[in-house]
Structure 1
Amino acid sequence: MRSRFLGILLKLQALWDAAEGGQAGPTEPPTGLANLTLMNNQGIYTVWVAVGTPPQLQECLVDMTSSDSYFISNKLQDCSRAPKTCAFVFEENMSSTLYYYPSTFPSFVSTAANFTGSFASDNVLLGIDVLPNGVEWDGGYSLTNTTFGLAQNGTGYGTDACVVGLGLKNGESCVTTMENGEVSPVYDNLPIAMKNQGFVNRASYSVYLNTWTSKTGFVLFGGIDHAKYHGNLSIVPLVDYAVDASLGTKLVGNPTDFQVVLNGISVSDGNRTVPIASMNFAVSLSLGNTLTTLPASVVKPLAKVLGLASVYEELEYVFPCDREASIVFDLSGVEIAVPLSEYAYSLDANMTDGSPACAMLMTVQDDPLWCLGDPFVRAAYIYVDLELFLAAIAPVKYTIESDVEMAAANGSISGAHPAPHYNASKLTSAINVTAGNTTFFPIVEISAAPKLRITFWAIFSSILFLTL
């Protein structure tokens, strides 16, 4: 293992030296496009990157809800003492090109992962694959002086994995918030840096996760693969909605997250459709959330129609894995049907009818930061423009075919049209439940005593990821 890892580091250094010398590796990407391969680790999407000089290999989570990229510092207590819980650690003193921002620069803070640290900049290599025989340069993108956070203090969830953040610049953790809700970003995050350093013509990208069981998907910076969706792309606006502890819930001048308006949810089995609820509230359609989170007033009637068995105070659910139906989401008049199989996480348990039990990758969340999550993203092809604050979506088409187009400099998208309700995206908090007493399936309980509590940790505690 040690000799293999040393070989990887030496090859990474050679790749960086080639990039510094004006070469982009053996397979140079088309001008204006940059493809990033995503690895599917049982529903956890990661990417290989290398940081510093010499390059240090990292496997990081990919997160559209995070505007900051960050790496786990060797100074983090949980990673510097036995037993170590961090798979990859960035050794700060080993990089000759690491630059720490002065004390006047805001500290790095991750509320989701419960740690703090410093902002710094260094060289970052993207577009590498780690294979059994070493590192392969997949097109390759060498970003210089790239700003990121260093997790140096704190404990808890998130301290074991670095993150490649693909969020909007306005959502940076060091952003300055004005009294009127306007925000002032401090630095160019990774998607903006991809444009500013000449890899793409526009700060935009599309996401294709492929099927639940596929090993890889991709993020395509600066372009759209027209072969990967059915019909036409529909443009929906990102809503100017933010939740801030000091401001309360209010509109802000520019979006801080990839939130769109959810107008309705229904359930279909191919023969009939049952409306569950109509609403006009903001939901995030970002990659990086394994679960779909929605308010109880939506999840409970949805669970009733689908015949889901509650395992914890009607917050989390299980169901027979072989059930066939789709949850249909209406986003500004664009309907995306997500098969129930996209929400099925297989458990080591059976239902009382003897069928295999699956956890529902959907849960109740009280606060209004609701998210459609990765199950939705797998069922849709999504293109986001970080300059015009819009998204273009269509039902996904799983295929090995490709028809890639570079994003136009002015942001226009060939063949795309505004969603039917593009100009009617007014946010309200009201939810009109229309499900009634209709049910598609009978409720079948899980055969376990006591009942399992299906939480994020229970579902994924057995998943071993971020390993060489």
Structure 2
Amino acid sequence: MKASPLATAGIALASAAQAQVVQFDIEKRDGPLLRDLSRRATTVNGVLSNQQVQGGYFLNVEVGTPPQNITLQLDTGSSDVWVPASSAAICTEVSQRNPGCTFGSFNSDKSSTFVDVGQGDFDITYVDNTFSKGDYFQDDFHIGGVTVSNLTMGLGLDSSIANGLIGVGYVNDEASLGTTRSTYPNLPVVLQKEKLINTVAYSLWLNDLDASTGSILFGGIDTEKYEGDLTKINILRADNSNVFTEFAVELYEVQATSPSGTDTLSTNAGTLVAVLDSGTTLTYLPQDMAEEAWKEVGASYNEEFGLAVVPCSIRNINGHFSFTFAGPQGPKINVSMAELALDLFSGGPAPKFSSGPNQGQSVCEFGIQNTTGAPYLLGDTFLRSAFVVYDLVNNEIAIAPTSFNSTKTNVVAFASSGAPIPSATSAPNQSKSGPSSSTGSGLSAASGFQSNDNAAPLTSAFSGPGAIVVGLTLGYTLLGSAIFGIGWL
């Protein structure tokens, strides 16, 4: 999980059983317990709400007895459910730079069903060195009106992160491996064990940047939420490992296409492995590849904010970036410019460029940012354009272009544990050859993305009250992503 420097946002699940589907809805608080096996479901559907300015997707849940309301971020890049403790300094020491645990916190003393099962055993650190530490505990976990009894969770007693997470990754990426050397059944596994779903798998449909809702569907796919073919590719294991820990796949090629042409971005990173991570707001590519993407669209890097920014008007350009996976015949996802220019903050007037060719235009953060080393992350600015199926039993990802704003539904459940992904076919000739070519010096597509060839100088280039708000936001909004090895097989 890695959030934008300027971002945090929302999801929600609620509960209504329909035929073989248990749907979670944010308004509905009451419903059957997961442990009531007389009503068997084969899929569990969660409605996701999107607060686009803050980025990310959060679940409204309840923990304990009586239930305490907490909003937790959905994260395919980690594997633990954890909540901030109400006594943690991050929650109690509120200041201008630290608004506290505005998404809620958990007071274990007020829950009659709380059981501490591992004092000091919960310890998770993300790639930006943000962290949460404390105890493992078991308690009732309510999503809408549905309850999982005795779910194992982490309690963040000492945390640099003000909101908790719902990690839905592999059990082999649980933080407990670093302390107790053991794993436990996390939420996706529990759903299968309780026979709510047939296999440990789920599909993710975030919809577009402006949409208020999307969905996560445990145990099945929705064939109305994607276009074209659903194509399977292999998840890669870490080097020298026999286990799978993250949703790492081969990113074969990235291209920039505008009305003036198509360029293939290059990198010296060699084989490019990327993690499909819903807990990451932006997309992070190797430094050299990200800089080429910036040149294409005329983005400028601002040292103070640590971001590449663009004029917000770039949303209206008829261009896109294409991401191809697992070889030249693998699935390809196009991400439009409308999905790659994000508002810097909410409330008040936006900051504007005060000089350069973009003078007077509103400033947006660009959805493709840079990082100097693996893991490279395909976050929400990519995932909104893709329908993605995560199969944790067969260790496969299935992917197709999303069907934006689809109002139809056709849910197909996995037939059994280990059954293949419904309606999906395997990509042929999957390889690890890396990006196939370089841009060269022409950047023929660039002129179609921008009216000026030179990016605006960004030293003190922002004006207006919005610039102050952006600076404050950077001070307390955190980055994260579960630490993982660099090499994959």
Q: TM over 0.5, yes or no?
A: yes
Supply the RMSD in Å over aligned alpha carbons.
3.3
Kindly indicate whether structure 1 or structure 2 has the higher relative contact order, using CA contacts under 8 Å at least 6 residues apart: 2
| AA partner of residue 92 (structure 1) | S
Offset of residue 321 of structure 1: 2.3
Distance 1:171 1:380, change over 3 A: same
Offset of residue 314 of structure 1: 12
Question: Could you give the per-residue CA deviations for residues 296-316 of structure 1, whole angstroms, max 9, x where no partner exists?
Answer: 111112211222223239963
Distance 1:276 1:447, change over 3 A: closer
Question: Could you give the per-residue CA deviations for residues 4-24 of structure 1, whole angstroms, max 9, x where no partner exists?
Answer: xxxxxxxx99837x6389499
Distance 1:252 1:448, change over 3 A: closer
For structure 2, the residue ranges without an aligned partner over 5 or more in a row are: 1-26, 345-349, 478-489
Question: Could you give the per-residue CA deviations for residues 338-396 of structure 1, whole angstroms, max 9, x where no partner exists?
Answer: 11221201351334354333221222111211101101100000001111111000011
Offset of residue 108 of structure 1: 3.1
Do 1:308 and 1:444's aligned partners in 2 also have CA atoms closer than 8 Å? no
**1:15 corresponds to:** 30
Question: Could you give the per-residue CA deviations for residues 102-136 of structure 1, whole angstroms, max 9, x where no partner exists?
Answer: 45x8333334532310111111111x2xxxxxxxx
**2:220 corresponds to:** 223
Question: Could you give the per-residue CA deviations for residues 394-419 of structure 1, whole angstroms, max 9, x where no partner exists?
Answer: 01111111111001213212331111
1:62-73 maps to which residues of 2 (within 5 A)?
A: 62-73=74-85
**2:147 corresponds to:** 142
Choose which of 133, 153, 156 in structure 1 pairs with 2:158: 153
**1:213 corresponds to:** 210
Offset of residue 233 of structure 1: 0.6
Task: Give the % identical residues.
Answer: 25
Distance 1:85 1:199, change over 3 A: same
Distance 1:298 1:164, change over 3 A: same
Do 1:315 and 1:363's aligned partners in 2 also have CA atoms closer than 8 Å? no
Question: Could you give the per-residue CA deviations for residues 41-64 of structure 1, whole angstroms, max 9, x where no partner exists?
Answer: 222211111111111111111111
Choose which of 113, 126, 134 in structure 1 pairs with 2:130: 113
**1:381 corresponds to:** 387
Distance 1:185 1:238, change over 3 A: farther
Rounded to whole Å, the distance in 2 between the matches of 1:20 and 1:197 is 7
Choose which of 285, 289, 292 in structure 1 pairs with 2:276: 285
Distance 1:100 1:361, change over 3 A: same
Q: Tell me, what secondary structure is at the counterpart of 1:107?
A: strand
**2:255 corresponds to:** 266
For structure 1, the residue ranges without an aligned partner over 5 or more in a row are: 1-11, 129-139, 178-182, 242-249
Offset of residue 37 of structure 1: 1.5
Choose which of 317, 321, 331 in structure 1 pairs with 2:312: 321
Q: Tell me, what secondary structure is at the counterpart of 2:289?
A: helix
**2:169 corresponds to:** 167
Rounded to whole Å, the distance in 2 between the matches of 1:388 and 1:343 is 32
**1:86 corresponds to:** 101
**2:7 corresponds to:** none
Do 2:227 and 2:400's aligned partners in 1 also have CA atoms closer than 8 Å? yes
| AA partner of residue 316 (structure 1) | L
**2:413 corresponds to:** 406
Do 1:108 and 1:119's aligned partners in 2 also have CA atoms closer than 8 Å? no
Q: Tell me, what secondary structure is at the counterpart of 2:313?
A: coil
**1:96 corresponds to:** 112
Larger strand percent: 1
**1:425 corresponds to:** 432
So what's the TM-score if we normalise by structure 2?
A: 0.77
**1:131 corresponds to:** none
Offset of residue 231 of structure 1: 0.7
Offset of residue 142 of structure 1: 1.5
Do 2:300 and 2:458's aligned partners in 1 also have CA atoms closer than 8 Å? no
Q: Tell me, what secondary structure is at the counterpart of 1:393?
A: strand
**1:33 corresponds to:** 43
Q: Tell me, what secondary structure is at the counterpart of 1:31?
A: coil
- How many pairs were matched up? 416
